[in-house]
Amino acid sequence: MDPQPDVSDDAGYPVRFPDVQFSPSGSALVIIDMQRYFLDPTGPLGVYFRHHFSTLAEDFYRTIRESLIPNLMQVLEAYRAARHPVVHVTTGAQGDGRRELLPYMRSRFAEERDPSPSVNGGLVCSSKWHEIVPELSPQPGEIVLNKVTRSAFTSTGLDSVLRNMGVEQLLVGGVASDACVHISALDASDHGYWTFLLEDATAAFDARTHRLAVESFQRLWGVVLTSREATAALRRAV
């Protein structure tokens, strides 16, 4: 996969989001679904994805290794150095029946199951596949919330947690930019947070849908930043 393309400014589009400056003070980093289930090519999703969509899978997992995880690590380290809030969000059900998940999510993920016992149960909280990848593993004091919907706001106490901490701005990254990251960022904007999307610290299963999701977000919902821009702002603040 080529590097995730820069987002162009469509001058012909009639609406543009206000030019809001990212201010690390009063902000929180929200990391969405950086779990082994989604990111490990040998996991439940990886087995299914590589079998049915081999070319897309190869490109996606290369982007994960070479871009998404390193860029998100850089931002996470800057947040930790600045002692600003970090929230990790995962997806997972408590029971093997996955009844807590939305019906269409439960149905879809059932298709991605591999017959091997070592791979089954990826979206169950007790499974190793539910774990956040080691590079981004939460540190003591960092908040971890688990959702059973696409949006992090719909099935967790994320909004209450952020308001209790006095957070006004959110910096959002993770997977996937056209799914859980996208709807969580949109919901954040609709909840009144100034929301910033990390263009190169989020990814979709192909570059085209990533670009469309990011362009849609920047027109109506928030501001798009690169990991380098966000990290530089955090270091200046420190």
With respect to residue 8, please indicate whether it lies within any of the assigned structural domains: no
Contacting residues for 160 by C-beta, under 8 A, at least 6 apart: none
**SS3 per residue for 112-139:** CCCCCCCCCCCCECCCHHHCECHHHCCC
With respect to residue 15, please indicate whether it lies within any of the assigned structural domains: no
Query: What does each of the 238 residues of the chain score in pLDDT, given as a tens digit?
Result: 444 444 445 556 777 788 899 999 999 999 999 999 999 999 988 998 999 999 999 999 999 999 999 999 999 999 999 999 999 999 998 876 677 887 767 766 554 454 443 334 567 888 899 999 999 999 999 999 999 999 999 999 999 999 999 999 999 999 999 999 999 999 999 999 999 999 999 999 999 999 999 999 999 999 999 999 999 999 998 7
With respect to residue 215, please indicate whether it lies within any of the assigned structural domains: yes
Contacting residues for 175 by C-beta, under 8 A, at least 6 apart: 32, 33, 34, 38, 39, 68, 181, 202, 203, 204
Print the domain residue range for 103: 27-237
Do you find a cis peptide bond into 237, omega within 30 degrees of 0? no
Model pLDDT for residues 20-65, shown as the tens digit of each residue? 999 999 999 999 999 999 999 999 889 989 999 999 999 999 999 9
**What is the per-residue pLDDT for 108?**
63
With respect to residue 190, please indicate whether it lies within any of the assigned structural domains: yes
With respect to residue 57, please indicate whether it lies within any of the assigned structural domains: yes
**What is the per-residue pLDDT for 173?**
98
**What is the per-residue pLDDT for 205?**
93
Model pLDDT for residues 186-208, shown as the tens digit of each residue? 999 999 999 999 999 999 999 99
With respect to residue 105, please indicate whether it lies within any of the assigned structural domains: yes
pTM: 0.89
Distance of alpha carbon 204 from alpha carbon 181, whole angstroms? 10
**What is the per-residue pLDDT for 7?**
47
With respect to residue 166, please indicate whether it lies within any of the assigned structural domains: yes
The CATH number that applies at residue 101 is: 3.40.50.850
- Count of domains observed in the chain: 1
**What is the per-residue pLDDT for 101?**
81
With respect to residue 207, please indicate whether it lies within any of the assigned structural domains: yes
